[in-house]
Structures are given as C-alpha cells and as structure tokens.
Structure 1
Amino acid sequence: MRGLRPLRICLVASSRFPIREPFAGGLEALTHALATELGRRGHHVTLFAAPGSDPALDVHELAVPTYDGSAAARLDVNAPSDLWMAEHHAYLGLMLDLVRDGAQRFDVVHNNSLHHLPVAMAPALTVPLVTTLHTPPVPWLESAAALAPDSAVFAAVSRCTSEAWAHAVRSTTILNGVDVHRWRAGPGGGPAVWSGRLVREKAPHEAIDAAAAAGVPLVLAGPAPDDDYFRAEIAPRLGPSAVHVGHLDHLALARLLGRASVALVTPAWDEPYGLVAAEAMACGTPVAAYARGALPEIVAPGTGALAVAGDVADLARAITEARACDRDVVRRHAERHCSLDRMVDDYERLYGSLVDVVAAA
C-alpha cells in the first residue's frame, strides 16, 4: 500500500500443519501466500509455524513439546489429549515471549491460527494484534474472544463469517484471495474437478453423484485423511467416470483446474470462505456450488451457478448451467474480487491503522 513504511510483522500460524506444499488445507495455503506477498512488498515477516514449514520463509518453529503427564494427572477422566496439551504449551511459550519483548521486535502481530491463546492473551501485549476469523464460532475461540477488550481487532474472511461472530466480536470483512499470477487461466473443455480434503463435511461423494447425474466425468484432487469415510463413500463411487488423483501441489492443481469445464464445491457445513472456488475462477473455470456459507459472496452471476445445499439433483442442474459461462468473464471476476493483491492491500490498510494508533498514543 502506497505510503506504508515497511513493517516488522509477526505472523502466527498453525502448530499442527506445516506451511508448505502440498498444503494440508486452505488455511495453510492462504498463510503461505500472505507471508510471501507481504515479504515481496518489503515487509519483514516472521512466521511462527509448525516444524517442516517452507524454508524460503523466515520461519520460527512453534516447538510442540512432548507432554508426558504424571500418573496422577492421567487419572483425570476429563484430561485433554497429549496433543492438546502440547499445542497449548507451544502457543503459551510464543505469547509469553511476545508479552516480554514483542514491542521491541514487531510492529504488529497477525494471528492467523485457530488457537485460543493468542486471542485470550492479546490484552497483555503492548504491540497491536489482529486476529483473522477463519471459522464460524467454536467454543475455545468464542470464550477467548469474551476476554478481549473493546479495542481488540478482528478480521473475518467473509460477510457470512463476520455475521456469525457478531454476537461475540466486532469484525471487519477482508475477503480471502489467491495469487492470480500462479492460478492462471486455462483452456477448459475437460472434466469437472472437485478439489480439497476428502472429508464428510465437504461432501465429495455428493459431487460424484451430481456429476454422474449431469453426465460429466469428474476428477477429485486432494488428501483423504478420513479412511473410514473414503472407504464407505468415495471408493465405491470411483470408476471410469470418477477418479481420484491424490494430493497435488498448486502447480499441478492449477493445470488440472485450467483444463476443467467446471469446478464443484459441495460443503455440508457453512464454508467460511471457499478458497477452492476462488482458485478455480482464477483459472477461468466456472463454479457449481451449494449455496452455503460464503459461497454466494464468492460465486457471482456469470461466474457459475449455485444449488440448494445438499440437493444433488439441483447441483447437477447447476453443473450444466455453470459450464456455459464465459471463461474470460470468470477470470476477470477473480482478478478484481478474489486476488491476493486485493486481500493484502486490505491487510496493509488494517496494519497501518493499528500502527498509527500506537504511534499517536
């Protein structure tokens, strides 16, 4: 953003999933893109993330210590898991360090994690902290937000997410974005594509059924972390017209999406944003999606078609309708509304307002 001096930014990410390709999910992909673009613009970004994150970034590992509880502690039937305890200590250690000397090291802290401690401990910091809300309200984040002062700064990834949190916090909406220079327009004309984690809450089995009803072959791309779900709902549906190509990096996925005639997005929950829709549209590929969560904000008229959530027959109708969209129109919409440049502009503006308040104090 013009006029904003280079900032020292502390970017807090997941302690569970490395920020590297192939990404575990949209949050990790978004964090990598944000850190990269802020660095390209001249800011000094220190990323606190899980071990194994991309060494091209200035990564400080969120050390997740092994928790070895005492015999007495393990007798507690309500004791949290060892993983929960280890992550708790990882974020507690980071936040105590930031309380101690964060103001000397950073101009702003951006909490891009889903952990509650950065939110709960924000009042103890002397450096401004902004938290991005990537999920609908969940108990641990909602309870932490209740401790936040009125001056706490929250950004929601969509209007839908902002409204879902309105009872607990005030937030500004900063829509997510994708690097439209990496997600390039392709020729289309190929099969339908479904991308993401193959898990029940994203309902890829319904995408398979809808594509079959529409008479369109389907390629599924993404990790399958739930073996039981995959065996029960996905494997029996695979065949000549529906194939799973595994977990792809962004280059391979962009090529696949660029050749697709339509991208399917089938959340069985209120998707806070829907990064896979933005990725597809950046490739010029129209989207057929359930009208849930933020997807009606992302898929505009002329860029795809929306279907009644959970209605496979209506999704088959949307597939046929979306395939007729003009790919140039779809690409231009992504450039204007779904780009990483626009998202980072918005975050720079927010950072600048926080730093100005501190300077004036």
Structure 2
Amino acid sequence: MKGVPTPEHLARVQSTLPANGTAPLKIAMVAPPYFDVPPPAYGGIEAVLADLSNALVDLGHQVTMIGAGRDGTRARFWQVWDRAVPERLGEPGPEIIYATLTRRVVENLAAAGEVDVVHDHTFAGPLNAPAYDAMGLPTVATVHGPVDSELRGYYQTLDRDLSLVGISRRQRSLAPELNWIGVVHNGLCPADWPFQREKKDYALFLGRFSPDKGAHTAVHAAHAAGLPLILAGKCAEPAEQKYYAEQVEPLLGPNDQMIGIADAALKRELLANARCLLFPIQWEEPFGMVMIEAMICGTPVVALRRGAVPEVVEHGVSGLLCDDPAELPAALRAVSELDPAECREQVVRRFSDERMAVGYVQAYRAALAERRRPRLAGRAGRAMARAGRLTSAGER
C-alpha cells in the first residue's frame, strides 16, 4: 500500500464515497503516540479509542488504527512507532514528527482505496486536514480538551478544513462558532467493568493531581463527612508533584491513603468498592470519563456542578451534584442511599461503546456529505464570506 493517490483515483473515491445510507465505512483512526491503545493504566483518550474502534468493527465498519506501541484492538493496526512515548508528553517535537508520519500512512491507505474518512485524536494531526481534503478525504477531530483556551483560535484557523466533534454539549457551547459537526459523549464497554452492590466505607478521588481536579477540596470534604479518602491518579510531572506536596499531602490524615496511578485492575477494584467517587472539579470539565467508569461499577458520583458534569450525572439517580464545596460533606453522607443498579443502568443506556460508535458513524457521514456540498474557491473566498462580502450555499 504505497504511493500517492492519482487524480483518477481521487475522482473515483469522490464518486463512490458512502456519505449516506448504511454502507460500511473505512475509517483511519489516528491515535496519540503517548500511550498504548488500550492503556495499561493512565490514558483516558486511549481507553475511549479502544472501545470506539472495537465497537465500530462490531458494527461492520473497517477501522485502521494508526498509532504507536502495541496492537491492542480488533481494528487493523498500522504501527508508526514501535513503542509509545509517555515520557515525551507535552513536547512539541513528537507531535510534529508523528503528524508527518501519520500523513504518509493515510496517503498509502488512500492510494489503496482503504479509507473514506480520517478520525484524528492528536493535537498536531488536524494540520494535515487540508492535505487529506486534497485526497478527497474529510477529517473529523474529536475535541478531547477544553476550547475556552488557545485551542479555540487553533481550531478557528483550521476553519472548514476540519469537522469537529464535541464530547459534551457544554463544551460545544463555549465556542459555538467552530465547525462542529456533532456531539458524541464518551462511552465504554459495560462488559469490561464489574458491578458491585455492596460498598466499603471510603470515598475515592481518581484523577490527575492538578488544582483543576480539586484533590485538596476532596480531602476537606471527606474529613468534614468523617469518611476515609483514597486518592489515586497521575502525579508524575513537576507541576503535579508540586501541587500534591504543597496543597494535598499536608491535609491527609491517618485514615487517608495515597496510591498514585492505578492500573486497569486496581482502578476497577477501587471504583467498585467505593461508597462514591468524589469529583470536586474546579474547571470547565469537557466530559469526565472517570464518572461513567464509577457509575458502571454501581458507584454513584458526588460532584461539583461544573462543565459537563450535569450532562453525565443525573442528580438523585447516579449521583449528587453540589453548587458549593460546603455542600459536599452532606452529599457524601447521603449518597449511600442511591441505588447502585440505577447507576449502572444509566451508563448502559446513555454511555455504552455501541451508542458512542453509532454517534460517530453519524458524524462521519455528515462530514462526507458536507464535503460534497459546493464550496467557495479557496481560503480567500472563505475569508471574504466571513467578512460579509461574499455568500454561498456552501457556507453555514
């Protein structure tokens, strides 16, 4: 599968793309290079990618996972690097190099007629969208992080070269001018997670050690409720270690326990046994994967009403939502009255891997249909249209 697509091939692809209907799609799934898919421990994006890819395959679609490290899904696997590089997370170099290499893979897939749409989950990868467009391929990017930051300008610059999928309605509402093509909530495979009705008497904080995640608030709330707290999560980078040492560790009491990163097995054990997941988020959380991981185990969530939390947790059913940290201790005492079976049912019904896959298929078909619509000629024309000097049916 070598070579660059010929003009004849591109014309053929554009005339036969399954933009509508039920025809199976050929999807190039571009994973970040930092963790295996699925990850052995930390790696929320990679966990979602694994479940999404497997569910798409189960629905009859052809998925080619483009990534680093090991082959861990039912999709076809094209290895870009022989190992994942978690130690280089945050460096610009790997992003740029990896984006260039993945573009060559997509070119090969396109030349062989093995791709209809590119679904990119990396930071630099969307810069390839104009090149993919020239091959007759739309690029769909899931926005895994917040858009009320410099990322907003980044996606604005890419404009209509890129079709964006939000992971919550709240996330999308913070930058409504971007080229959103849909909202698809994250999901997981329910069969991969245990259910446990009987709980032990501790609250669990599970997340990165960052002020945004609110571990310090979790400690205060658990102590006020007289409840032991177990803390688990990523605490490897200097900023995370500084935050933990200065704002969390001094607060810990003799009944609290700091575990650090929990692997897949330990995470499931901790979630299944906890009285509740304590999620005192301090920022515009775009989704909060750990919440549905808790709920699928039958464990309710006690959280602050921030970001997408109200979209994920149904107050009084799968958790208790608080408007102020001072309300958290009372919620911690009351949360054991919620039904674990209802918590799990919420995830099975609303956040399953199959539901997520169906949502993305709709997004892929929408991106394919959007690409077929008439467009203004060139970036200059689009810029004029945005300035109000030119209009076209191809512009929304």
Corresponding residue number in structure 1 for 2:101: 93
Structure with larger Rg: 2
Matches within 5 A, 1:95-244: 95-99=103-107, 102=110, 104-115=113-124, 116-119=126-129, 121-137=131-147, 138-140=149-151, 142-149=153-160, 152-190=162-200, 191-225=202-236, 226-244=240-258
Deviations 1:15-41 (A, max 9, x none): 233334334332121112212222333
1:170 CA drift (Å): 2.9
Q: What SS does the aligned partner of 2:310 have?
A: helix
Match of 1:49 among 67, 70, 79: 67
1:56 CA drift (Å): 6.8
1:257 CA drift (Å): 1.2
Deviations 1:157-212 (A, max 9, x none): 00011112212323311111122111232124211111122223212121111111
Corresponding residue number in structure 2 for 1:323: 336
Q: What SS does the aligned partner of 2:257 have?
A: strand
* C-alpha distance in 2 between matches for 1:139 and 1:313: 32
Q: What SS does the aligned partner of 1:351 have?
A: helix
- Select between 29-38 and 46-55 the one with higher mean Cα deviation: 46-55
* C-alpha distance in 2 between matches for 1:48 and 1:360: 28
Match of 1:16 among 34, 43, 50: 34
* C-alpha distance in 2 between matches for 1:188 and 1:258: 9
* C-alpha distance in 2 between matches for 1:337 and 1:260: 22
In structure 2, relative to structure 1, the CA distance for the partners of 1:131 and 1:125 (3 Å cut) is: farther
Q: What SS does the aligned partner of 2:271 have?
A: helix
Q: What SS does the aligned partner of 2:230 have?
A: strand
8 Å contact 1:257–1:285 — kept in the other structure?
Answer: yes
Deviations 1:287-309 (A, max 9, x none): 1011111001111132111112x
TM, length-normalised to structure 1: 0.84
Corresponding residue number in structure 2 for 1:312: 325
Corresponding residue number in structure 2 for 1:252: 266
Deviations 1:202-243 (A, max 9, x none): 121211111111111111222212222222223223343211
* C-alpha distance in 2 between matches for 1:228 and 1:93: 35
* C-alpha distance in 2 between matches for 1:216 and 1:119: 50
- Select between 7-16 and 311-320 the one with higher mean Cα deviation: 311-320
- Count the aligned residue pairs: 341
Are residue 300 (structure 1) and residue 309 (structure 2) matched? no
1:55 CA drift (Å): 7.5
Corresponding residue number in structure 2 for 1:68: none
Gaps of 5+ in 2: 1-20, 83-88, 375-396
1:128 CA drift (Å): 2.3
Match of 1:38 among 56, 60, 63: 56
8 Å contact 1:120–1:145 — kept in the other structure?
Answer: no
8 Å contact 1:201–1:268 — kept in the other structure?
Answer: yes
* C-alpha distance in 2 between matches for 1:313 and 1:357: 48
* C-alpha distance in 1 between matches for 2:180 and 2:27: 23
Corresponding residue number in structure 2 for 1:266: 280
Q: What SS does the aligned partner of 1:142 have?
A: helix
Gaps of 5+ in 1: 65-80
8 Å contact 2:166–2:180 — kept in the other structure?
Answer: no
In structure 2, relative to structure 1, the CA distance for the partners of 1:166 and 1:325 (3 Å cut) is: same
1:333 CA drift (Å): 1.4
In structure 2, relative to structure 1, the CA distance for the partners of 1:136 and 1:278 (3 Å cut) is: same
8 Å contact 1:122–1:148 — kept in the other structure?
Answer: no
1:313 CA drift (Å): 1.9
TM, length-normalised to structure 2: 0.77
